[in-house]
Amino acid sequence: MHFEDYFARTFQSVKEINNVKPLKTVILTGSSSQACLGDLCTTRPGATPPSSSSHSQPDFAKGDMQLSRSQIDEIVASALLQQSKDTVALRDFALGARHLPELTTACPSSLSARQQYFIRLASRLSSFNLESLIGKVPSMALTDKVGENFCWEFPGSYGHLGIVLKERISVHQVSIDHLPRELGSDTGIRQAPRKVILWGKVQGEHNVALAQLYRQRLGSYRTGHIPLKPRGLQGGSDLYVPLVEFEYKLGGSSKPHIQTSSVPPYLRTLNMDFEIVVLEILSNYGAPSTCLHRVRVHGSPVKSLAVYSHVNRQSRQ
């Protein structure tokens, strides 16, 4: 294989795996003694390298970089490694968390309540997640498994999932994962959540006072009715605040299968912290049931916030 063919095929494989448009163009000419990837050029084996200036080091500003085949392989391997990493790159405080049945939509199961109880008990006492034996249960949306059968499925298009986070945090973002279109059936894709709201359950006097201030700020940014809590949790005296409202969008390759939305700035500045959140799913894409493959909750732990506040107080004194 000619060197320029090897270079072109190698770069093409990276393009296909990354599924993105290249920032630079590969320039390969039969008459030239060099093959270039954007500003990076390499001398064809057996060819005479172009004349260089008096210094022996390559001039990176001018793109005068000599690459061997092993260096190209290293660049490709690095690109593949980067692509294989989690593209969200944010800590997920819902991963491996516990769901709250009393704040979660009840789903029918072929197992009796007694059988479900013992399976959940065995799951908590062991290092294995045995709840999948019950079916597509809520805890499956709090794992990092990928596949059409790994989701929390509930009938219809409305449901809510109560989550006890791994730590008390100030919530910054929420991410929703669904199957990539290439991996799911048409029905499986249409089971994706569409409009969702992430709610924070307000606990503690300090947070209650901040929640009242938040509602005042929210009223100045929005018009119309401001909901007090998830539609399916209207009973009781618990106080909730809507942290993030967004729409998960299907769009084939034009939309990523993991989509992240941020808490608005007027809420972030309050530094409220939450241990319990509720993901409310308002609609899907027309399927008779909905599958939530994964929900991620991102933010800053309370300990970090306490240190930050202490440093700020010290700096103001």
Question: Which neighbouring-strand residues pair with 295?
Answer: 176
> Is the distance from CB of 266 to CB of 169 less than 8 angstroms?
no
pLDDT of residue 282: 97
Asked whether residue 261 carries a pLDDT value surpassing 70, the answer given is yes
Q: Which two tokens stand for residue 100?
A: 């709250």
> Is the distance from CB of 144 to CB of 294 less than 8 angstroms?
yes
pLDDT of residue 112: 64
3-state secondary structure of 159: strand
Q: Which has more pLDDT, 46 or 271?
A: 271
Mean pLDDT calculated for residue range 13-41: 43
pLDDT of residue 200: 96
> Rounded CA gap, 167 and 273, in Å?
10
pTM of the model: 0.65
pLDDT of residue 27: 36
pLDDT of residue 253: 63
Percent of the chain at pLDDT > 90 equals 36
Percent of the chain at pLDDT > 70 equals 59
Asked whether residue 35 carries a pLDDT value surpassing 50, the answer given is no
Quick: pLDDT tens for 62-80: 555 567 787 787 777 666 5
> Rounded CA gap, 222 and 78, in Å?
46
> Is the distance from CB of 192 to CB of 177 less than 8 angstroms?
no
Angle at 176 between CA 175 and CA 178, to 5 degrees: 145
Quick: pLDDT tens for 121-169: 776 676 665 655 556 788 889 988 877 778 999 999 999 999 999 999 9
Return the closest-CA partner of residue 132 out of 113, 116, 108: 116
231-266 burial by CB neighbour count: b if 16+ within 10 A, else e? ebbeeeebbbbbbbebebeeeeeeeebbbbbebbee
Asked whether residue 194 carries a pLDDT value surpassing 80, the answer given is yes
Q: Which of 62-76, 251-265, 268-282 has the lowest mean pLDDT?
A: 62-76
Handedness of CA 246, 250, 254, 257 (dihedral sign): positive
Distances (CA, A) of 241 to 38, 89, 171, 179, 297: 49, 26, 12, 29, 15
pLDDT of residue 78: 64
Distances (CA, A) of 41 to 23, 93, 219, 241, 317: 15, 44, 58, 55, 56
pLDDT of residue 44: 47
Query: Highest mean pLDDT range out of 25-34, 40-49, 272-281?
Result: 272-281
Asked whether residue 281 carries a pLDDT value surpassing 70, the answer given is yes
Mean pLDDT calculated for residue range 223-239: 79
pLDDT of residue 289: 94
